């Protein structure tokens, strides 16, 4: 029995007055891995100052996982390649409980409403979702 993890990421810009040249893009639309694999989710950007990674479980509010100024969340780390304009979320050992929607954002977002990630969402690019299958 092999459990596969499928990762989806949504890339968002979340603040009033976002400039049109600020763009977030995924490396791939879907990431597939097995349990206990090391998984890297990458977010390329054209400009920005504080990139955030969020995780959202179905019917729940998004949760801030990491930004470059906070300590790592257990099992997760952030790599910021500033010259390459890329920020990676690394899951050290993927588990079924990591099945969720992952978000890369340029600014802190509003996380109280599970239906809307940002009050001032101005740009949304489809990305990846983490789910399991047999």
pLDDT over 60 (residue 85): yes
Q: CATH number for the domain including 90?
A: 2.60.40.10
For 14-53, the pLDDT digits (tens) are 333 344 455 666 566 566 778 888 988 888 888 766 788 8
Q: How many domains does the chain have?
A: 1
Are 26 and 127 spatial neighbours (Cβ–Cβ below 8 Å)? Answer: yes
Domain that holds residue 34: 4-133
Residue 25 to residue 7: CA distance in whole angstroms: 15
Least confident of 20-29, 35-44, 74-83, 99-108: 20-29
Residues in contact with 83: Cβ distance below 8 Å, sequence separation at least 6, in sequence order = none
Of 98, 79, 82, give the one whose Cα is nearest residue 90: 79
Contact in structure between 7 and 31 (CB atoms under 8 Å): yes
């Amino acid at each position: 029995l092999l459990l596969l993890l499928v990762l989806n990421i949504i890339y968002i810009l979340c603040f009033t007055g976002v400039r049109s040249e600020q763009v977030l893009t995924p490396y791939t639309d879907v990431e597939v891995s097995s349990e206990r694999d090391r998984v890297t989710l990458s977010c390329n950007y054209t400009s920005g100052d504080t990139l955030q990674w969020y995780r959202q479980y179905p019917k729940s509010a998004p949760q801030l996982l990491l930004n470059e100024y906070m300590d790592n969340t257990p099992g997760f780390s952030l790599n910021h390649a500033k010259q390459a304009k890329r920020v990676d979320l690394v899951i050290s050992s993927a588990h079924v409980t990591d099945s969720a929607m992952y978000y890369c954002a340029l600014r802190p977002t509003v996380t109280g409403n599970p239906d809307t990630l940002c009050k001032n969402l101005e740009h949304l690019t489809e990305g990846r979702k983490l789910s399991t299958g047999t």
